[in-house]
Amino acid sequence: MRIFVSIGWSKETIAFLQTWQVKLQQEYGIKGYWRIPNNLHLTLKFLGEVRELKVQDIHKTLKEVSSQFCPFEIIFQELGVFPTIKAPRILWMGVQSTVLISLQIAIESALRNIGIPPEFRSYQPHITLASGGIDGINENILRKDRKFLRTETVATFELIQSVKERGCHIYHSIGSYPLKKGDATI
């Protein structure tokens, strides 16, 4: 099964992200394959194809990691593209949080201990808004409206299975890991 660890969003944050998708399409004329609401997430660790027998070890490991963190705040801060502005394939919204980076490192390390290979690229937390050959984007658009003034409290993360249905990837939660109770930190 094809799986990844991610943070999902509240209905309010999904609406915020959709508003940005519409703005980018209608005000700026950006074209691309726009993510459906249920597929808007922030990946913490992509595991790829994993045998079902390994999933129980992954569940146990993620539960242990979640018990080490309190809920925390993330800040939506910028737009960007991968790999470059000259050949954009992914349009994303970035987020900022030092606790998020610590959580991602802890997940990466714990999963490595049970045989999941580490990611060698540096982690850049983002939500993919559109993919598939982005057309109409430029540096001016990326620099404009840089203050999104949105925060979200992260209280859980999830293990997601990606299933291809009718040519599209549909995401299903197969595990939810609440962060230990406590005051939110930034």
Residues designated as active site: 41, 126
3-state secondary structure of 65: helix
Of the candidates 147, 151, 146, the one whose C-alpha atom is nearest the C-alpha of residue 185 is 151
Distance from C-alpha of 87 to C-alpha of 108, rounded to nearest angstrom:
29
Residue partners of 154: CB distance under 8 A and separation at least 6: 7, 71, 72, 73, 74, 97, 100, 179
- How far, in Å, CA of 47 to CA of 86, rounded? 29
Q: What angle (nearest 5°) sits at the alpha carbon of residue 47, between those of residues 153 and 19? A: 40
Alpha-carbon distances of 152 from 1, 55, 69, 96, rounded to whole Å: 30, 29, 16, 11
Burial class (CB in 10 A: 0-12, 13-18, 19+), 144: exposed
- Integer distance in angstroms from the first to the last C-alpha of the chain? 34
